[in-house]
């Protein structure tokens, strides 16, 4: 199982932020504008390597957490 060490946060204004756990605290790593609308749902793979969001308008995105990849919007 992959243990990514990442913490992900989302917000009602459509932003997704990736943070990396450190020995003392966390460090900001990456920012995405996942949607122009509020993110209303999220899910992650069991190993934490893939993360998905769904927006208020029904737009979905899939993120490769480890490699910082992102899909085109999925409608």
In a domain, 72, yes or no: no
pLDDT per position as a tens digit, 13-65:
999 999 999 999 999 999 999 999 999 999 999 888 999 999 998 999 999 99
Please give the tally of structural domains in the chain.
1
How many beta carbons lie within 10 A of that of residue 34, not counting itself?
26
What six digits make up the tokens of 27? 């460090």
Closest C-alpha to 40, from 4, 75, 10: 10
Per-residue pLDDT, 70 = 86
Domain span holding position 35: 6-66
Give the number of other CB atoms < 10 A from CB of residue 17: 15
Q: Is residue 23 part of a domain?
A: yes
- State the Cα–Cα distance between residues 54 and 12, nearest whole angstrom: 11
- pTM beyond 0.85: the answer is no
pLDDT of residue 72 exceeding 80: no
At residue 57, what are phi and psi to the nearest 5 degrees?
-85, 0
53 DSSP β-pair partners: 42, 61
Q: Establish if 30 belongs to a structural domain.
A: yes
Q: Is residue 56 part of a domain?
A: yes
């Amino acid at each position: 199982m992959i243990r990514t060490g990442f913490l992900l946060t989302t917000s009602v204004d459509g932003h997704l932020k990736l943070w990396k756990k450190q020995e003392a605290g966390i460090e900001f790593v990456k920012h995405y504008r996942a949607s122009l609308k509020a993110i209303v749902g999220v899910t992650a793979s069991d190993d934490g390597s893939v993360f998905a969001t769904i927006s208020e308008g029904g737009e979905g995105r899939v993120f490769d957490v480890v490699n910082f990849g992102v899909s085109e919007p999925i409608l």
